[in-house]
């Protein structure tokens, strides 16, 4: 192993792990802020925060700027920081990164809209980074045939399914490379795409079919069927 890589691996093994929970969305596709909806009597964001807190040395929660004061007033432990997000997901992650301590060696990024991520999933992505990867993402094999098309929806190619994975969060990265990737101001649909652009080596580890993202109303209905509890009704503004 080259000396520089040995040094980076030692730093990752010795440092702390922090998780950024991204909950800054406006809920455009659902029609309301999904992170504050109730499942099993708990808010979606709080379910996601609980697993992140169990699996990390500290957590940064990124919420819409208008909600920062309200979220900071909620009971939280001393290892949780609440910050306001930006107009895009990448801007929100950048804001979260700014609040991660400089001595963190691994940073996970997790969507609050995936409340069913397990401790084991966090362990898999973090372990892959500790073993030498620049980043690790959970993925599940694509079972449908996928077509790449042009602007007129004419098929250009049919990629082999064996090469395709649907990627989830949490995603784990060496802190230094994640900071460097976002320093360029790049946008991406996920964090690994931003890291890949700066030459990062990202591995796919086994994902979890149950780690479903709440995007549409049927996703929320499914989530509530997994965790039933009192008062699982839409949360309106001012009721958070």
Domains and CATH numbers, the chain: 3-226 (3.90.550.10)
| Per-residue pLDDT, 3 | 42
pTM of the model: 0.88
| Per-residue pLDDT, 78 | 87
Asked if residues 56 and 18 have their Cβ atoms less than 8 Å apart, the reply is yes
Taking only the tens place, the pLDDT of each residue in 87-139 is: 999 999 999 999 999 999 999 999 999 999 999 999 999 999 999 999 999 99
pLDDT at 28 over 60: no
Residue 179: burial class (beta carbons within 10 Å; 0-12, 13-18, 19+): middle
Q: Compute the distance between CA of residue 48 and CA of residue 115 in angstroms, rounded to an integer.
A: 4
pLDDT at 14 over 70: no
Q: How far, CA to CA in Å, does 72 sit from each of 15, 65, 238?
A: 27, 11, 15
């Amino acid at each position: 192993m080259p000396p520089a890589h040995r040094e980076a691996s030692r730093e990752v093994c010795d440092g702390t792990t922090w998780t950024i929970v991204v909950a800054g969305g406006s809920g455009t596709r659902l029609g309301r802020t999904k992170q504050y909806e109730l499942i099993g009597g708990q808010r979606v964001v709080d379910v996601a925060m609980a697993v992140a807190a169990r699996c990390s040395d500290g957590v940064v929660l990124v919420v819409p700027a208008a909600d920062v004061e309200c979220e900071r007033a909620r009971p939280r432990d001393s290892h949780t920081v609440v910050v306001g997000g930006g107009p895009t997901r990448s801007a929100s992650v950048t804001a979260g990164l700014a609040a991660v301590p400089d001595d963190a060696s691994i940073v996970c990024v997790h969507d609050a809209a995936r409340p069913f991520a397990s401790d084991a999933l966090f362990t898999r992505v973090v372990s892959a980074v500790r073993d030498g990867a620049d980043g690790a993402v959970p993925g599940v094999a694509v079972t449908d045939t996928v077509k790449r098309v042009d602007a007129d929806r004419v098929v250009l190619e049919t990629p082999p399914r064996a090469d395709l994975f649907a990627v989830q969060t949490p995603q784990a990265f060496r802190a230094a490379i994640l900071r460097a990737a976002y320093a360029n101001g790049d946008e991406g649909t996920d964090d690994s795409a931003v890291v890949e652009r700066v030459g990062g080596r990202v591995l796919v580890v086994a994902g979890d079919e149950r780690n479903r993202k709440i995007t549409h109303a049927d996703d929320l209905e499914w989530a509530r069927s997994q965790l039933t509890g009192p008062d699982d009704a839409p949360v309106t503004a001012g009721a958070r």
